[in-house]
């Protein structure tokens, strides 16, 4: 039987020690407990995480988000309360603020599902406003909270497209409630 040279034996022993040291079972990270309220350990996200294959794609996405953040948002201009003596003609103030860059139209809905349309305007240029609107159907006397959808329009390749939208509520006081 052959004997293993001493140098080889030392080398193999060192290799086995290095391998077993690297294969140690990782201790679980300690969790914050009531007894240790001053430390917080945040674990790694596991759901919805993916490996980034294309670093350039990540940079492009970041650049697009940065560019989008530079675009000016929509400035809203309206009075929250409107009045109507007859439930059809509504005295209000709803405007496309002069600082906005896009034309817009407004739509008013009586419900939160945006199916009961009360009013749809034409386009308003920046710096113009409605002081009175005529609803498509009559509201009963009383207080009505309605949804006003502001929609900015931009023209892309000759087509009108939605640039931005915003929704606010408007209180319409009808009949005796209007006084």
Taking only the tens place, the pLDDT of each residue in 76-116 is 889 999 999 999 999 999 999 999 989 999 999 999 999 99
Alpha carbons 94 and 76: distance in angstroms, whole number:
9
Q: What is the reported pLDDT for 62?
A: 75
Reported as a pLDDT band with limits 50, 70 and 90, residue 35 is low
Reported as a pLDDT band with limits 50, 70 and 90, residue 56 is confident
Alpha carbons 30 and 11: distance in angstroms, whole number:
37
Q: What is the reported pLDDT for 85?
A: 96
Q: Which two tokens stand for residue 165?
A: 């939208």
Q: Is the pLDDT confidence value at 13 over 90?
A: no
- Find the angle CA(70)-CA(73)-CA(74) to the nearest 5 degrees: 165
DSSP-assigned letters across all residues of 76-145: EEE-SEEEESSSSEEEEEEEE-TT-SSEEEEEEESSTTS-SEEEE---B-TTEEEEEEE-SSPPPSEEEE
| Mean pLDDT calculated for residue range 151-159 | 91
Q: Domain limits of the chain?
A: 76-178
126 versus 59: the higher-pLDDT residue is: 126
Q: What is the reported pLDDT for 121?
A: 95
- Pick from 115, 37, 62: which is nearest to 107 by CA? 115
Q: What is the reported pLDDT for 31?
A: 55
Alpha carbons 131 and 134: distance in angstroms, whole number:
11
| Mean pLDDT calculated for residue range 21-46 | 62
pTM for this model (two decimals)? 0.60
The CATH number of the domain covering residues in 76-178? 2.60.40
Distances in Å between the alpha carbon of 30 and those of 27, 79, 128, 138? 9, 54, 61, 65
């Amino acid at each position: 039987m052959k004997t293993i040279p001493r140098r080889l034996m030392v080398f193999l022993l060192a290799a086995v020690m290095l391998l077993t040291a690297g294969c140690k079972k990782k201790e679980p990270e300690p969790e914050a407990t009531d007894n240790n309220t001053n430390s917080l350990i945040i674990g790694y996200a596991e759901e919805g995480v993916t490996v980034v294959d294309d670093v350039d794609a990540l940079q492009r996405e970041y650049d697009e988000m940065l560019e989008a953040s530079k675009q000016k948002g929509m400035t809203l201009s309206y009075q929250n309360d409107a009045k109507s003596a007859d439930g059809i003609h509504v005295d209000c103030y709803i405007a496309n603020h002069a600082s906005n860059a896009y034309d817009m139209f407004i739509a008013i809905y009586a419900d939160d599902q945006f199916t009961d349309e009360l009013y749809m305007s034409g386009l308003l240029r920046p710096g113009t406003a409605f002081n009175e609107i005529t609803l498509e159907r009559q509201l009963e006397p009383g207080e009505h909270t309605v949804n006003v959808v502001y929609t900015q329009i931009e023209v892309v390749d000759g087509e009108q497209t939605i640039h931005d939208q915003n929704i606010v509520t408007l209180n319409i006081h009808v009949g005796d409630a209007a006084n």
